[in-house]
Amino acid sequence: MFSSQIEIKAPKEEVESYFKALEPEEGFKTERAGYKLKKAKGGLLIEIKAEDWQIAEELTNAFIIFLSEHRDIIPNIFVHSFWHGVVKNIKDKFPEVETFIIMMLGLTPEKMLQLILDAKANGAAIENDYISSELVSLAHKQNVSLNAWLLNDKNSFDKMKKLGVDGLITNYPGRFKI
């Protein structure tokens, strides 16, 4: 669960300087693309966001350069994105980075799992309406983690706990009992 959030959005030319000067309460925003960061227990969750694939790829390439020069942060970061190719590119360059794809698709459990495996991701953050006991079972057989989002009501939260998902994502971390 994530207790606080910072958001950084920047053109690719400025990405590295924002990572170097990262302050917990500061952020820079543009409408085009960016990195969304959340302090996570034991590390930093980085969401790579973009309007289109070209921008996502530019951000990813800048991020890969940054990681190449700052390998010491790798054990402390988690990367996720709606852009599954971003996740795969990062995993190809840095297999040790924990990666997750973000999904809100009404596909069969088998197809959802295949998307995760194709991206070489450690897991996925999936909108809770699309998580079933079959998906949880298939994912866990492949050692794939599933995080359910966005759990802002008690029924959804309790249902995902009962299904055995690995992570519960909510805007109200103090509202529910784990």
- CATH number at 148 reads 3.20.20.190
Helix (H) or strand (E) holding 71: none
Least confident of 30-44, 45-59, 64-78, 149-163: 30-44
Kindly report the pTM of this predicted structure. 0.77
175 domain-assigned? no
* H-run or E-run covering 41: none
Domain contains 174: no
Asked if residue 176 belongs to a domain, the reply is no
The dihedral over CA atoms of 107, 94, 76, 171, expressed in degrees to the nearest 10, equals: -20
The predicted pLDDT at position 45 comes to 78
Q: Is 177 among the domain residues?
A: no
Q: Under 8 Å CB-to-CB from 21, ≥6 apart: which residues?
A: none
Domains identified in the chain, total number? 1
101-141: pLDDT as tens digits: 999 888 999 999 999 999 999 999 999 999 999 999 999 99
pLDDT at 11: 45
User: Which domain covers residue 113, as residue numbers?
Assistant: 2-168
Crossing angle (nearest 10°) for helices 109-118 and 133-141: 40
Give the pLDDT confidence of 16-56 residue by residue, as tens digits.
444 444 433 333 333 334 445 454 555 777 888 888 888 88
